[in-house]
Amino acid sequence: MKPVHVLFFSLLLAAGAQAAPLPPQVLKELKKAHIPLSAAGVVVREVNARAPLIEVNAKAPMNPASTMKLLTTYAGLELLGPAYTWKTEAWLDGKLEQGVLQGDLVLKGYGDPKFTIEQFWLWLRELRARGLREIHGDLVLDRSFFDLPAHDPAAFDNDPARAYNVGPDALLLNFNTLRLRYLPDGSALKVISEPELAGITLDNRLAPHPAKGGCDNWDDAIRVQPDGDSVILQGAYPSECGEREQNLSVMPHTRYVAAVFRVLWQEMGGTLQGGAREGTAGADAQLFSTHQSAPLSEVIRDINKFSNNVMARQLYLTLGAADGASASLPRSIQTMQDWLKRKALDFPELVLENGAGLSRAERISPQHLAQLLQSAATGPLSAELVASLPIHGVDGSAKKRLRGSPAASHAHLKTGTLEGVKTIAGYVRSRAGREWIVVFFINHPNAKSGQAAQDALIEWVQQRR
């Protein structure tokens, strides 16, 4: 990723000077990381306070990285409700007699963000229990509920196999990823995939190799390349790092769904005589079964605690389809703007792209993100939002931060990381029992070194009386 342009930092500096000084330890850590104050945007304010305690470049539009998910998930809670569920439908486009379908089985998706392999297996078992055994036609995949341009998984950082680059899809299954488990055994290395994919061969060409610089970046030397009906693994694996696993996306959505379906359906004793294709159910098709997702209140925990990008994108698109129309990015943007307007939240600098923060274009000011958190804190669904945030030192993306610190377990903060961007935003409870809103953005080439400064601010807030 290219670093943020130098001119942007000049705009940050001009956007607003600090209203109150940052704690000395925070300034010290910024200096140590070679991050100028002009590249930081900070707001610290007590919930329900009339004025912030600290403001630094608070009005500057900045890249929020994954803290943008706070806007998407809060909007989801208010617009859809915490009990909202997504559906996936199975239609019979033909006549079913004695377990045999003379026609096509149509699976229609409505954007379920967390339709896992386990849930898919249970649903297919239900289809079998309802009497479907043989399909003498095609498997038709209906993805029409999302009206989207073609997605290029390499566009963001030229690493298309990474799970975070998976694009949204109305019929998203298991995040469209393959879990590869690496099992070293002496000089040999076994690789197994979950789920198994019908018609796809795993071609393991990896060679054991000593780890360089420890095991933190154990997968740096592994190259995964889809090639026709094969997934080729090349490079080196550090055997001394033991068993490891990674989730990768190696094929388009439709092929992935079809490959998983064939394996599971065959295991259940079912048959599919035809092929798999995209399409829709005919006018005479009959609804056979409907699968319901987990409720939104559970889904946003995965989105925020583990910063799941494709789940956030699924939710963001769903916001634009609340009226029953097909979902599209322009509709989602308009829905979000209308919602903010109704809440009297005027964010003129806001730039939305995908609602997940995996973007070089998205922008929001620290002041307005803090304002959003204030609105959420006093709303009826505050408990659901806070419960979805990573707890520092305990779980999610913040599990390893502030371990052993008095501030551990006292901070519910969403984290965000891109090249040149390091952000946190959420709530901190001080030792006096007071609730504080903390937003700390860093947009700078050295941003990855800014975590110590952010942690120092969290600890300072937590120690306030």
With 90 as the cut, is the pLDDT of residue 347 above it? yes
DSSP category for residue 162: B
Higher pLDDT, 271 or 16: 271
Confidence of residue 201 (pLDDT cuts 50, 70, 90): confident
pLDDT for the residue 310 = 98
The pTM score is 0.92
**Phi, psi at residue 126, to the nearest 5°?**
-65, -40
Confidence of residue 196 (pLDDT cuts 50, 70, 90): confident
Lowest pLDDT segment from 174-178, 206-210, 326-330: 206-210
Q: Helices 117-129 and 253-267 sit at what angle, rounded to 10 degrees?
A: 50
User: pLDDT digit string (tens) for 355-377?
Assistant: 999 999 999 999 999 999 999 99
How far apart are the C-alpha atoms of 216 and 70, rounded to whole Å? 28
**Phi, psi at residue 182, to the nearest 5°?**
-105, 120
Answer yes or no: same fold for 6-83+297-462 and 87-150+252-294.
no
The 3-state secondary structure of 298-338, one letter per residue: HHHHHHHHCCCHHHHHHHHHHHCCCCCCCECHHHHHHHHHH
Q: Count CA atoms within 13 Å of residue 82 on its CB side.
A: 12
How far apart are the C-alpha atoms of 67 and 309, rounded to whole Å? 11
- Domain 87-150+252-294, second-level architecture: 3-Layer(bba) Sandwich (3.50)
Q: For the chain, which residues make up each domain, given as ranges?
A: 6-83+297-462, 87-150+252-294, 178-248
- Domain 6-83+297-462 carries which CATH code? 3.40.710.10
pLDDT for the residue 214 = 76
| Cis, bond preceding 195 (omega within 30 deg of 0) | yes
Q: Helices 69-80 and 296-305 sit at what angle, rounded to 10 degrees?
A: 180
Q: Please give the distance of CA 110 from its chain centroid, rounded to a whole number.
A: 18
Contacts of 410 (CB under 8 A, 6+ apart): 392, 428, 429, 430, 431, 462
Lowest pLDDT segment from 86-90, 186-190, 327-331: 186-190
Q: Which residue has the tokens 């899809």?
A: 169
DSSP category for residue 399: T
pLDDT for the residue 6 = 40
Lowest pLDDT segment from 36-45, 137-146, 243-252, 420-429: 243-252
Mean pLDDT of the chain: 93
How far apart are the C-alpha atoms of 176 and 164, rounded to whole Å? 11
pLDDT for the residue 269 = 96
With 60 as the cut, is the pLDDT of residue 7 above it? no
pLDDT for the residue 20 = 60
Q: What is the mean pLDDT of residues 84-96?
A: 98
Tokens at 357, concatenated: 């923060």
Higher pLDDT, 159 or 310: 310
With 60 as the cut, is the pLDDT of residue 105 above it? yes
Q: What is the mean pLDDT of residues 132-148?
A: 97
Q: What is the mean pLDDT of residues 227-248?
A: 88
Lowest pLDDT segment from 10-14, 21-25, 208-212, 342-346: 10-14
Q: What is the mean pLDDT of residues 312-329?
A: 90
Q: What is the mean pLDDT of residues 351-358?
A: 97
With CA atoms as reference, report the closest residue to 430 among 457, 399, 461.
461
User: pLDDT digit string (tens) for 380-425?
Assistant: 999 999 999 999 999 999 999 999 999 999 999 999 999 999 999 9
pLDDT for the residue 208 = 80
How far apart are the C-alpha atoms of 193 and 259, rounded to whole Å? 13
With 70 as the cut, is the pLDDT of residue 14 above it? no
Q: What is the mean pLDDT of residues 210-226?
A: 82
How far apart are the C-alpha atoms of 223 and 231, rounded to whole Å? 10
How far apart are the C-alpha atoms of 448 and 161, rounded to whole Å? 23
